A and B are shown apart, each in its own frame.
Chain A
Amino acid sequence: MFLQMLGLKKLYDQEKGLKYLDLEIEEGSFVTLLGPSGCGKTTTLNLLGGFLKADEGKILLEGEDITSLPPERRPVSTVFQSYALFPHLNVLENVCYGLRFFRGMKKKEAIPVAMEQLASVGLSGYEKAAISEISGGQQQRVALARAMATNPKILLLDEPLSNLDAGLRIQLREELKELQKKLKITMVFVTHDQEEALSLSDRIVVMEKGTAVQVGTPREIYFHPASSYVASFVGKVNYLETEKGTRIVRPEDVWMKEDPDGAYRVETVSFMGSHTLYEISDGKTVLKADLFGIDGSRFRPGDRVKAGWDDVSARLITER
Chain B
Amino acid sequence: MTTNRKSRYLAAELADRLILAALLAGIGMFIIYPICSVVVTSFFKDGHFTLEYYQALFTAKSIKLIKNSLKVAVLSSVLTTGFAFFLSLAVFAAKGKRKQFIRNSLVFTMISPPFVSSLAYIMLFGRRGLVTYQLLGLSVNPYGWHGVVILQVIGSISFATLMLSTSFDHLDRRLILASRDLGATTTETLWNVILPMVRPGILSVLFMLFTMNLADFGTPVVIGGSFKTLATEAYLQVISSSKLGKASAISVFMVPAAVLAFFFYYRAMKANEKSTGSDRADAEDSDAFTLNGPAGVMTWTITIVFYVIMLLKYGNIFLSAVSNSASGSLKFTLEYFGKLPRSQWSSFQHSLIYSCIAALAASLMGILLSYYTHRRKLKGMRSAEFLASLPYIIPGTFYGLGYVAAFSHKPFYIRGTAAIIILNLAFRQISLTNKSANAMFSGINRKIEEAARDLGASRLNILFGIILPLMKPAFITGFISIFTSCMTSVGAIIFLISPGKNVASAELFQSIENGRYGVASVQAVVIILATLGINLAFMSMLKLSKRGGK
- Chain A residue numbers with a CB within 8 Å of B278 are 82
Q: B177 near A86 (CB under 8 angstroms)?
A: no
* Contact A98 B275, beta carbon cutoff 8 Å: no
Interface residues of B in 270-295 (CB under 8 A from A): 274-276, 278-279, 282-283, 285-288
Whether A78 contacts B181 by the Cβ 8 Å rule is yes
Residues of chain B within 8 A (CB-CB) of A52 are 285-287
Tell me, yes or no, whether A70 is within 8 Å of chain B by CB.
Answer: yes
> Nearest Cβ distance between residue A284 and chain B, in whole angstroms?
45
> Which residue of chain B has its CB nearest to the CB of A78?
B181
Could you tell me if B174 and A101 are in contact, using CB atoms closer than 8 angstroms?
Answer: no
Complex CA distance for A46 and B174, rounded to whole angstroms = 12
A72, B286: Cα distance in complex, Å: 15
Q: For residue A59, give the distance in angstroms from its CB to the closest CB of chain B.
A: 15
Chain A contacts for B180, CB-based, 8 A: 50-51, 70-72
Assess whether A84 is in contact with B174, with CB atoms less than 8 Å apart. Answer: yes
Q: Does A102 contact B (CB under 8 A)?
A: yes
Given A52-B286, A53-B287, A72 contacting B178 (CB threshold 8 A): no
Q: In whole angstroms, what is the CA distance A78 to B177 when docked? A: 9
Could you say which of B188, B193, B282, B285 contacts A86, with CB atoms under 8 Å apart?
B193
Of B175, B178, B188, B286, which contacts A46 at CB under 8 A?
B286
Query: Are A72 and B184 touching (Cβ within 8 A)?
Result: yes
Whole-angstrom distance from the CB of B229 to the nearest CB of chain A? Answer: 37
Please name all residues of chain B whose beta carbon is closer than 8 Å to the beta carbon of A77 when the two chains form the complex. Answer: 181-182
Counting CB contacts under 8 A, is B324 at the interface? no
Q: A42-B282, A51-B288, A84-B172 are in contact. Are A72 and B177 (CB under 8 A)?
A: no
Of B193, B276, B285, most A-chain CB atoms within 10 Å: B285
Q: Are B196 and A51 in contact (CB under 8 A)?
A: no
- Given known contacts A84-B172, A87-B274, A101 and B287 CB-to-CB distance under 8 angstroms: no
Contact B275 A87 (CB under 8 A): yes
Does B489 count as interface, using CB distance less than 8 angstroms?
no
B183: interface (CB < 8 Å)? yes
Q: Does B185 contact A (CB under 8 A)?
A: yes
Contact, CB under 8 Å: A97 / B175:
no
Is A128 close to B, CB under 8 A?
A: no
Inside 8 A of A85's CB, which chain B residues have their CB?
178
Query: In the complex, what distance in Å separates the CA atom of A97 from the CA atom of B179?
Result: 8
**What's the tally of chain B residues with a CB closer than 8 Å to chain A?**
28
Q: Does B528 have its Cβ within 8 Å of any Cβ on chain A?
A: no
Q: How far is the CA of A87 from the CA of B179 in the complex (A)?
A: 12
Q: Which residue of A12, A71, A101 contacts B285 across the interface (Cβ within 8 Å)?
A: A12
Contact status of A80 and B177, CB under 8 A, knowing A52-B286, A88-B196: yes
Question: Is A106 engaged at the interface, CB distance under 8 Å to the other chain?
Answer: no
**Chain B proximity of A50: nearest CB distance (Å):** 8
- A82:B174 contact, CB within 8 angstroms: yes
Does A101 contact B196, Cβ atoms closer than 8 Å? Answer: no
> Is A184 interfacial (CB 8 A cutoff)?
no
Residue A219 at the B interface, CB < 8 A?
no
B183 contacts A46, C-beta separation under 8 Å:
no
Task: Chain A residues near B492: list those with CB within 8 A.
Answer: none
**Binary per-residue interface labels of chain B (242-276) against chain A in the complex, 1 for a CB within 8 Å, 0 otherwise:** 00000000000000000000000000000000111
Asked whether A49 is an interface residue with its Cβ less than 8 Å from the other chain, the reply is yes
Contact with B along A69-103 (1 / 0, CB 8 A): 01111001110101011111000000001100111
State whether A84 touches B175 (Cβ < 8 A).
yes
Find chain A residues with CB under 8 A from B287 CB: 51-53
Q: Within 8 Å CB of B275, what residues of A?
A: 87
Return chain B residues, CB-CB under 8 Å to A50.
180-181
Closest CB in chain B relative to A106 CB, distance in Å = 14
A71 touches B175 (CB 8 A): no
A67 to B: closest C-beta gap in Å: 14
* A48 → B minimal CB distance (Å): 11
Most buried by A among B180, B181, B183, B285: B181
B197 interfacial by beta-carbon distance below 8 Å: yes
Residues from chain A with a CB closer than 8 A to the CB of B184 are: 72, 97, 101-102
A88 contacts across to B, CB distance below 8 A: 196-197
Q: Mark A205-226, 1 if CB is under 8 A from B, else 0.
A: 0000000000000000000000
A230-251: CB near B (< 8 Å → 1, else 0) gives 0000000000000000000000
Contact between chains at B282 and A46 (CB < 8 Å):
yes
Kindly identify, within residues 429 to 458 of chain B, every residue whose CB is under 8 Å from any CB belonging to chain A.
Answer: none
Is the Cβ of A80 less than 8 Å from the Cβ of B182?
no
Q: How far is the CA of A289 from the CA of B282 in the complex (A)?
A: 40
Tell me if A140 is interfacial: C-beta within 8 Å of chain B. Answer: no
Residues of A within 8 A of B288 (CB): 51
Contact B178 A80 (CB under 8 A): yes
Which residues of A are found within 8 Å of B285, using beta-carbon distances? 12, 52
Expressed in whole angstroms, the Cα–Cα distance for A157 and B197 within the complex equals 25
Query: What CA separation (Å) do A70 and B177 show in the bound complex?
Result: 11
Residues in B170-227 with C-beta less than 8 Å from chain A? 172, 174-175, 177-185, 188, 192-193, 196-197
The answer, yes or no, to whether A146 is at the interface (CB within 8 Å) is yes
* Most A Cβ at <10 Å: residue of B174, B193, B275: B174
Query: How many Å lie between the Cα of A70 and that of B181 in the bound state?
Result: 9
Interface centre among B192, B275, B279 (most CB of A within 10 A): B192
Q: Which of A12, A71, A102 contacts B177 (CB 8 A)?
A: A71
Is residue A4 within 8 Å, beta carbon to beta carbon, of the partner chain? no
A297 close to B (CB within 8 Å) = no
A80 touches B193 (CB 8 A): no
Contact with B along A134-167 (1 / 0, CB 8 A): 0000000000001100100000000000000000
Give A71 to B188 CA distance when docked, in angstroms: 13
Q: How far is the CA of A12 from the CA of B177 in the complex (A)?
A: 19
- Report yes or no: B174 in contact with A80, Cβ–Cβ below 8 A: yes
The answer, among B177, B185, B274, B286, for a CB contact under 8 Å with A84, is B177
List of B residues within 8 angstroms of A78 by Cβ: 177-178, 181
A50 vs B185: C-alpha distance in the bound complex, in angstroms?
A: 13
Q: How far, in angstroms, from A30 to B390 measured CA to CA in the complex?
A: 62
Q: Given the known A-B contacts A51-B286, A51-B287, A87-B275, are A103 and B172 also in contact in the complex, defined by CB atoms under 8 Å? A: no
| Residue pair A101, B193 in contact (C-beta under 8 Å) | no
Instruction: Report the minimal beta-carbon distance from B461 to chain A, rounded to whole angstroms.
Output: 35
Shortest Cβ distance from residue B186 to the other chain A in the assembled complex, whole angstroms: 8
Q: What chain B residues lie within 8 Å of A70 (beta carbons)?
A: 180
A73→B183 CA distance, assembly (Å): 6
- Are B193 and A71 touching (Cβ within 8 A)? no
Additional A-B contact list (8), CB under 8 Å, known A70-B180, A77-B182: A49-B177, A51-B180, A53-B287, A71-B181, A72-B180, A80-B174, A101-B188, A102-B184
| Nearest 8 interchain pairs by C-beta | A102-B183, A98-B182, A101-B183, A84-B178, A101-B184, A84-B174, A71-B180, A51-B286
| 11 contacts across the A-B interface (CB closer than 8 A) | A46-B282, A51-B283, A72-B185, A77-B182, A78-B178, A87-B274, A88-B196, A101-B179, A101-B188, A132-B274, A147-B182
